[in-house]
Structures are given as structure tokens and as C-alpha cells.
Amino acid sequence: MKPIPLQLVTVCLDNGQQGVFVGAPLVGEQNGAQDGQIEDIWFSDIQEIPGQTNLAELLRLIQAQLCRCNAVIQ
């Protein structure tokens, strides 16, 4: 089975709640702290996906969302 790159981002709120977000890697071991700084963080609308969705399908949905957002920004 082919491995799929995956990165988890944990966001902690000041009220103690935490959320974990799954996505395609953005920060890797090869990237130094000087390679990029966070400019903005945003959250998409909540989308319902089928419970039987596998990881590859989920990442395709995420990548499609990123493509749409990049098109809007440019």
C-alpha cells in the first residue's frame, strides 16, 4: 500500500478547547523556521462527509478545497 503524506495541526483555544485538523503537509522537517511564517489562518465551512470515507478520499477533498481557495485569493 502506497503511503500518503499527512499532517495534523492542533489548535488550542484560550477556553481550553482543542481541535485537530488533518491535511496535506505544509511544514516538513526539511523546512527551517525561516522558510515561511504564518500569514493567516482561516477555517472552511463545516462539511458533512460520508462516515466510510477513507484517508485518500479525504485528502482529495482537502486538496480540492485548497485549489478553490487559491483561485479566489489570486
Nearest by Cα to 36 from 44, 25, 46: 25
pTM: 0.53
Q: How confident is the model at residue 52 (pLDDT cuts 50, 70, 90)?
A: very high
For the chain, the structural domain boundaries read: 7-73
What is the β-pairing status of strands 7-12 and 18-23? antiparallel
Asked if residue 21 lies in contact with residue 11, where contact means CB atoms within 8 angstroms, the answer is yes
Residues 6+ apart with CB under 8 A from 20: 8, 9, 10, 11
Over range 49-66, report the average pLDDT.
83
